[in-house]
Structure 1
Amino acid sequence: METFKEISMPVATYEQYCQMLEKANKEGYAYPAINVTSTSTANAALKAFAEMKSDGIIQVSTGGGEFASGSNIKDMALGAISIAEHVHTMAKKYNVCIALHTDHCHPDKVEKFMVPLIEETEKRRAKGLPNLFNSHMFDGSELPLEENIRVSKELLTRCAKNEIILEIETGVVGGEEDGVNNEGTPADKLYTSPEEMVAIAKALRPIGKFMYAATFGNVHGVYKPGNVKLRPEILKQGQDAVVKEFGDEARHWLVFHGGSGSELSEIHETLGYGVIKMNIDTDTQYAYTRAVVDYMLKNYDQVLKVEGEVGNKKFYDPRAWMKVAENSMCDRIKVACDDLKSTGKSILL
């Protein structure tokens, strides 16, 4: 793989992020959006994007932020700030565009997660510094549609003033992720209707730029092939309804959640319907942990003090096995770049 020269490329500006999303929309590809929980997992994502010459999105969930702050602090916003600051520092060493995003902020966490992060960006902008995060997700899918739209409008108004893109969701992504369990969701709630997609366009387009996680049977977690009943045509039907009502320029920037276990053909079909971002978490978690398990099993007598021996510090040094884990996660993200067709399409090329 080509070695990249060291250049100063900070996290994407608002203009660059918009360019990234619109380019993906026009050319039929999507960005892997990688959930990270540490500097180690963030570094794996940065390395993968650079090696694939793909721009990408690094994102932090409420649970990921809480974990990153440490078991003694457990402050989801503070942990997210810590990871974001790390990415801002490290992104300067890579020659692709990296955007920072927060994932799945439910209504009960807005005041302790999203609002403090928006406030942090407002403070930075007042000092002439770049935004902390490029975009945030408000997941109001548990609310009635009217209430979801009302809160989304309020948040987008504040985000737009600060050149932040908001991601919203209608419908419900099934399964379980980050402590939120939607496994008992009624089947009809797993599919966003064309009417909902039109309502979102009508309410939010006049305010600012946003991404939209419309649901089409997608499920969080990992499932064997065939167990997830996706209906990508739901996205096409919704987009067609939006275009009929408001014109082609109103097509949504769509987001694909819960893609683990999906057939590649289904993923590619969604790209043609306007998916420009696909969240990836379960598969990269597995890749990171699988490498650690393999390392420990192969080096059992080196990492433990077995039968009176002292082990081998070179093997139980966390840097040794975390390096293996990072490389494994990096390799999985590179596959995602190929699958989503973002490889070699950085806006900086």
Structure 2
Amino acid sequence: MPLVTTKEMFEKAYKGGYAIGAFNVNNMEIIQGITEAAKELNAPLILQVSKGARNYANPIYLTKLVEAALEDTGLPICLHLDHGDSFETCKSCIDGGFTSVMIDGSHLPFEENIAVTKRVVEYAHDRGVVVEGELGRLAGVEDEIKVSAEDSSYTRPEEVYEFASKTGVDSLAIAIGTSHGAFKFKGEPKLRFDILEKVTEILPGFPIVLHGASSVIPEFVDMINKYGGNMPGAQGVPENLLRQAAKSAVCKINIDSDLRLAMTGTIRKYFAEHPDHFDPRQYLKPAREAIKQMVAHKIVDVLGCDNKA
């Protein structure tokens, strides 16, 4: 099966009241852990690559690893660019075989965001690729994205119709209170479901995306802290809120920090228990299994997309 776009995935997800997991990938073990879980649960997948991951792993290597996952699983898999920061970056991914790209113009004035997004959409659609845009700015840190709480902003529902109609985007990332990184909230976690409901009223049937939606699973945070880490106050999005969002218009939920925490916590634990080991296969194998189990949990209990491939 070749790589697919998200068009059919999102149509089914919207009607079915579930979301597709968009998992950030950086190396072979992460891809294997994610796809092994999805294969066992017969779940569709979005594997997404950030600009930082492209710089780290080389786009050719990541693309070939995803192609191997396709051959191994037979699942519908979309290869997506996460937070493309320019037309040139999006064009490079489209030309390199990606089936979906995000152009993030959320830091730009509204009219400039429309202009760059429309340019990417026109290039992508001519080549059968779908495009995600963004309105509103999420706080937090992820790779090269650094937005302070003061500079973050909720999506303004009154802008979404003009943005979607003028750009022709296929999905829209909105800001309702999630944030990048492992320190998402101070105090009680809350999401602005009123904004989501208003956006859904204005754009009925339109696929909505949540970024910064890792739950910062306490098990892995505790593991990191136990074995030499220092992450006091790490707090993610409660999974019941994500499930609520997935039952509405949210068709794509991005997960990155939970992958990093699962891998890092497991490796820290392994070295604490086996300080004389130095074979990467020995510590990457349990890390891969931790990712697999975490992704399986997300697919079944949060996203609700098991048996939807």
Does the TM-score normalized on the shorter chain lie above 0.5?
Answer: yes
Q: Which of 202, 214, 234 is residue 195 of structure 2 equivalent to?
A: 234
Give the TM-score of the pair, scaled to structure 2.
0.87
Q: Which residue of 2 aligns with 1:41?
A: 30
Supply the distance in 2 between the matched residues of 1:224 and 1:151 (Cα, whole angstroms): 29
Say if 2:102 is the partner of 1:137: yes
Q: Which of 254, 257, 260 is residue 285 of structure 1 equivalent to?
A: 260
Q: Which residue of 1 aligns with 2:288?
A: 326
- Would the aligned equivalents of 2:19 and 2:247 in 1 still touch at CA under 8 Å? no
Supply the distance in 2 between the matched residues of 1:272 and 1:40 (Cα, whole angstroms): 30
Match of 2:72, SS state, is coil
After superposition, give the CA deviation of every residue in 1:138-193 in whole Å (9 maximum; x if it has no partner): 1000001111011111110110011101111011011111122112434xx52111
Supply the distance in 2 between the matched residues of 1:203 and 1:299 (Cα, whole angstroms): 57
Matches within 5 A, 1:309-324: 316-324=278-286
Supply the distance in 2 between the matched residues of 1:227 and 1:88 (Cα, whole angstroms): 41
Q: CA deviation at 1:99?
A: 1.0
Supply the distance in 2 between the matched residues of 1:227 and 1:114 (Cα, whole angstroms): 37
Q: CA deviation at 1:199?
A: 1.2
Say if 2:248 is the partner of 1:273: yes
Supply the distance in 2 between the matched residues of 1:271 and 1:46 (Cα, whole angstroms): 21
Supply the distance in 2 between the matched residues of 1:178 and 1:259 (Cα, whole angstroms): 15
Amino acid at match of 2:156: S
Match of 2:259, SS state, is helix
Amino acid at match of 1:95: G
Supply the distance in 2 between the matched residues of 1:80 and 1:276 (Cα, whole angstroms): 26
Amino acid at match of 1:216: I
**Identical-residue share of aligned pairs (%):** 31
Match of 2:8, SS state, is helix
Q: Which residue of 1 aligns with 2:123?
A: 158
Matches within 5 A, 1:123-202: 132-186=97-151, 189-202=152-165
Change (3 A) 1:227 1:104: farther
In the alignment of these two chains, the number of paired residues is 286
The alignment's C-alpha RMSD in Å is 1.7
Amino acid at match of 1:270: A
Give the TM-score of the pair, scaled to structure 1.
0.78
Give unmatched runs, 5+ long, in structure 2: 215-235
Supply the distance in 2 between the matched residues of 1:293 and 1:268 (Cα, whole angstroms): 30
Amino acid at match of 2:76: C
Supply the distance in 2 between the matched residues of 1:87 and 1:275 (Cα, whole angstroms): 25
Matches within 5 A, 1:1-349: 9-12=1-4, 14=5, 17-68=6-57, 79-107=58-86, 110-111=87-88, 113-120=89-96, 132-186=97-151, 189-205=152-168, 210-223=170-183, 226-242=187-203, 248=204, 251-260=205-214, 261-300=236-275, 302-303=276-277, 316-338=278-300, 339-346=302-309
Supply the distance in 1 between the matched residues of 2:184 and 2:50 (Cα, whole angstroms): 25
Change (3 A) 1:119 1:345: closer
Give unmatched runs, 5+ long, in structure 1: 1-8, 69-78, 121-131, 243-247, 304-315
Q: CA deviation at 1:201?
A: 2.4
Supply the distance in 2 between the matched residues of 1:173 and 1:283 (Cα, whole angstroms): 17
Match of 1:101, SS state, is strand
- Would the aligned equivalents of 2:264 and 2:287 in 1 still touch at CA under 8 Å? yes
Amino acid at match of 2:134: E
Match of 1:255, SS state, is strand
Supply the distance in 1 between the matched residues of 2:114 and 2:146 (Cα, whole angstroms): 23
Supply the distance in 2 between the matched residues of 1:213 and 1:334 (Cα, whole angstroms): 24
Q: CA deviation at 1:224?
A: 7.0
Supply the distance in 2 between the matched residues of 1:200 and 1:43 (Cα, whole angstroms): 37
